[in-house]
Homo-oligomer: A and B are copies of this chain.
Amino acid sequence: MRDYIKVFAPATVANVTCGFDIMGFAVDNPGDEVIMQLSNTPGIRITKITGDMGRLPLDPTKNTVGVSVYSFLKAINSNQGVEIILNKKMPLGSGLGSSAASAVAGVFAINQLLKTNVPPKELIAFAMEGERIACGAAHADNVAPALLGGFALIRGRDPLDVIKILTPSNLYCSIIHPDLEVSTKDARMILRPMVKLEDAVTQWGNVAGLIAGLMLSDYALISRSMHDVIIEPARSILIPGFTQVKQQALENGALGVGISGSGPSIFALSNGIDIAHKVAQAMQSSFDQLKIGHQIYISKINNTGVKIID
């Protein structure tokens, strides 16, 4: 029996313009790695974390990987001993589903090692427990696409209803992560609890159009639908340069541009890798002009989700 595994879980873009709290998709990079080793000594031990600049707790009851693995083991009544190394390969607090990636890597790894064969959709709930520790709330819009790959629709939360939406084969994503801090709490606080019915109708027209556009591989419809009249006007205030970056990306051919999760990362979807590169360059020069440091990632939509790499 295998007692060691190394897995990769991808970064994810949640919200996807109009789809606040109900949509997310996975990318090929960045992503997190988890190395897990079964042990004869009961308990979960996080032996090492790299790439986090010392910001993440090794205490498994406070760490997103530890908590999600624990919730899995508890559900199957196991006191299996586990040693975990977490290699953070993406920025923390970036709006790229960093905690979701770690949580997903953890539950996927333990499910593989113990050969428990829990179906991927049922792993979502355990990974969401890890999210809860990191973000204070359990959302599935990063966890679900990190697990399943592709584009996930979270139709409802109680009970959880996740639908995988197929995406056009030539859809690429450019992500820029500026060196800015946006707390998830601030990003929630800035939203008004009431919205105009008129705006809500505009938004759900776009949501419907985006789903139809993805399923029909209709790039023009995807582009016409990628507008957020409710969340982005509020949250973009927290990201200096957002308007210029967005405009530059659109002028260089992006189908649509939005805030990734609650920011500060900004993503753009494009038809084809060449446009995705051009869009990435345009976004970079916008932040360069503002003298804001950044990392850039270009990737196809990741249709696989979390996977074994060793």
Copies held by the complex: 2
A200 touching B202 in the complex, CB below 8 Å, given contacts A153-B209, A221-B155: no
Q: Chain B residues near A155 (CB, 8 Å)?
A: 205-206, 208-209, 212, 221, 224-225
> Would B153 and A208 count as touching, CB distance under 8 A?
yes
> Is A165 at the interface (CB under 8 A from chain B)?
yes
> Is A203 at the interface (CB under 8 A from chain B)?
yes
A163 to B193, CA, bound (A): 31
> Would A205 and B165 count as touching, CB distance under 8 A?
no
> Would B193 and A196 count as touching, CB distance under 8 A?
yes
Q: Chain B residues near A195 (CB, 8 Å)?
A: 194-197, 200
A299 to B298, CA, bound (A): 49
A-side interface size class = 35 or more
Which segment of A2-10, A15-23, A77-85 sits at the interface?
A15-23
Closest to A221 in B: B163
Query: Which of B161, B208, B224 contacts A22, CB < 8 Å?
Result: B208
Q: Chain B residues near A196 (CB, 8 Å)?
A: 193-195
A161 touching B208 in the complex, CB below 8 Å, given contacts A20-B201, A200-B230: no
Closest to A227 in B: B156
> Is A280 at the interface (CB under 8 A from chain B)?
no
Q: How far is the CB of A50 from chain B (nearest CB, A)?
A: 37
Closest to A20 in B: B201
Q: Chain B residues near A191 (CB, 8 Å)?
A: 197
Q: How far is the CB of A133 from chain B (nearest CB, A)?
A: 23
Q: How far is the CB of A141 from chain B (nearest CB, A)?
A: 10
> Is A55 at the interface (CB under 8 A from chain B)?
no
Contact code string A262-305 (vs B, CB < 8 Å = 1, else 0): 00000000000000000000000000000000000000000000
Query: Which of B22, B161, B163, B194 contacts A204, CB < 8 Å?
Result: B22
Query: Which of B156, B200, B211 contacts A211, CB < 8 Å?
Result: B211
> Would B201 and A21 count as touching, CB distance under 8 A?
yes
Interface set, chain A 169-211, CB cutoff 8 A to B: 191-198, 200-211
Q: How far is the CB of A152 from chain B (nearest CB, A)?
A: 11
Contact code string A133-177 (vs B, CB < 8 Å = 1, else 0): 000000000000000000001111000010101000000000000
Q: Chain B residues near A19 (CB, 8 Å)?
A: 204, 208
Q: Chain B residues near A216 (CB, 8 Å)?
A: 215
A197 to B228, CA, bound (A): 13
Interface set, chain A 222-272, CB cutoff 8 A to B: 224-225, 230
User: Known contacts A153-B209, A155-B209, A204-B207; can you find 14 more A-B pairs with CB under 8 A?
Assistant: A19-B208, A21-B205, A22-B205, A153-B212, A155-B208, A155-B212, A163-B209, A194-B196, A194-B197, A195-B195, A200-B230, A207-B208, A208-B208, A208-B211
13 residue pairs bridging A and B, Cβ less than 8 Å apart: A21-B201, A21-B205, A155-B205, A155-B206, A155-B209, A155-B212, A155-B221, A155-B225, A156-B205, A163-B221, A193-B196, A200-B203, A208-B210
